[in-house]
Amino acid sequence: MSTAILEYFNANHSTFKRPNLDTYNVGNHKVSRYIGEFWTSKQRQSSSIHEVSYRACFKAQLPKFFIEWLTTKNDVVYDPFSGRGTTIIEAALLGRKIIANDINPLSKILSKARLRIPDLARLKERLESLKIEHDLEDDLDLSMFYHKDTFVEILSIKKYLSIRKKKNTEDEIDHWIRMVATNRLTGHSKGFFSVYTLPPNQAVSAESQIRINKKLKQKPEYRNTRDIILKKTRTLLRDITFQDVSTLKSVSKFAEFYTNDAQSVPQIKKSSVNLTITSPHFLDVIDYFGDNWLRCWFNEIDAKAVANSIKTSRNVIDWELMMLNVFKELHRITKKGGWVAFEVGEVRNKTIKMEDLVIPLGIEAGFKCEALLINKQKFTKTANIWGVKNNKGGTNTNRIILFYKK
């Protein structure tokens, strides 16, 4: 395999620089380690369709590299920790079949809608026909986030989507409206429904927002929710071509979305996946309820119930036990000759290198560890992955362990 990697880079020498190769030792395991820039500056621009805010996500160039290298059209690409859907959306754009899983139901809301690109004229018509009910009220006081007229519009959209869902009449335009509205609930510019607050990948508490408003001497101004949804839609579709629309629609017919614990996704058939690309959460570095309470409120999701269902590990041993089960499940669903690209990093002030934990787990589950790829380049990462802080000295580092099923 080491020779094959070098041959790949040699064959694409005009695009990739030949990486440095050495041996990385993890216990009794010797792994080929490649350090270089696997996606160049010309490749860093990803499609605008990825521009959906979500806490902890890697750039689309990472999955694109492995998808183009290790799969062909109509192969199946999977992500067990799908998040905002970077892996599966990129795979869909490249004409691969996709399976997404994330125990967080918001993941499906934010990703599935982007497989069916709406016609702008029909979207605008739908938004204009959506009745704004000025007498709507809610038990939740969100006056610290929204102007009263903006809040009425949000409640009207929320009610409309709720009725459509209960009647099982939601279509791709409704899914799109839900996805964009969920993404625009709060943020730090006039492109969001709210007054200035934290970036949109997490929501502060009502009490914290009151303090922010007081400190900045601000109060919520009216935001036209329908205009914001249309504007964000145009941004998302900025790079989308007619071919992209056709490809995504074709892929959507076979796409699978699940909300299981990644340790067991029985809906996925044995030996059916060609390539898994993922990055898992590490220990208890996120506050699901604190980050997502507003998004869950809008989508009528019980945030506390979801938070309780997410298994977080407060120590390395528990995390390893959980992740071993994830690898066993990946081994079950991966085809012979299939791959797993597992993005890791350094956590807790570099006292833990996740590759030292993950490599033995993958091997114990039955995989062969083919390589550790370390991609180094200038800052491009969307966010630190689950508390990983490996952007130092102007360099962005991605660490990917590559497993193979014999």
Spatial CA neighbour of 377 closest among 355, 402, 394: 394
Same domain assignment for residues 373 and 267: yes
Rounded Cα distance between 129 and 123, Å, is 10
Query: Do residues 56 and 44 touch, judged by C-beta distance below 8 A?
Result: no
Q: Does 390 map to a domain?
A: yes
Rounded Cα distance between 340 and 372, Å, is 12
Task: Answer with the one of 236, 260, 282 that is the final residue of a domain.
Answer: 236
> Which CATH number covers residue 399?
3.40.50.150
Task: Answer with the one of 236, 256, 285 that is the final residue of a domain.
Answer: 236
- Total number of domains in the chain: 2
Helices and strands of the chain, counted as H and E runs: 14, 11
Same domain assignment for residues 166 and 227: yes
Query: Do residues 396 and 376 touch, judged by C-beta distance below 8 A?
Result: yes
What are the pLDDT tens digits along the chain (406 aa)? 555 666 666 666 556 667 788 899 998 899 999 888 877 545 456 899 999 987 767 889 899 999 999 999 999 999 999 999 999 999 999 999 999 999 999 999 999 999 999 999 999 999 999 999 999 999 999 999 999 999 999 999 999 999 999 999 999 999 999 999 999 999 999 999 999 998 777 789 999 999 999 999 999 999 999 999 999 999 999 999 999 999 999 999 999 999 999 999 999 999 999 999 999 877 656 677 788 899 999 999 998 888 888 776 778 888 899 999 999 999 999 999 999 999 986 555 556 788 999 999 999 999 999 999 988 765 444 444 334 444 444 446 788 999 999 9
Same domain assignment for residues 274 and 376: yes
Task: Answer with the one of 187, 203, 236 that is the final residue of a domain.
Answer: 236
User: pTM for the whole thing?
Assistant: 0.91
Range of the domain at 147: 120-236
Same domain assignment for residues 264 and 384: yes
| Amino acid of residue 182 | T
Residues 6+ apart with CB under 8 A from 311: 261, 322
pLDDT at residue 201, rounded to an integer: 72
Same domain assignment for residues 99 and 124: no
pLDDT digits (tens, 9 = 90+) for 273-295: 999 999 987 765 667 778 889 99
Same domain assignment for residues 46 and 195: no
Rounded Cα distance between 90 and 355, Å, is 25
Q: Does 14 map to a domain?
A: yes
Q: Does 110 map to a domain?
A: no
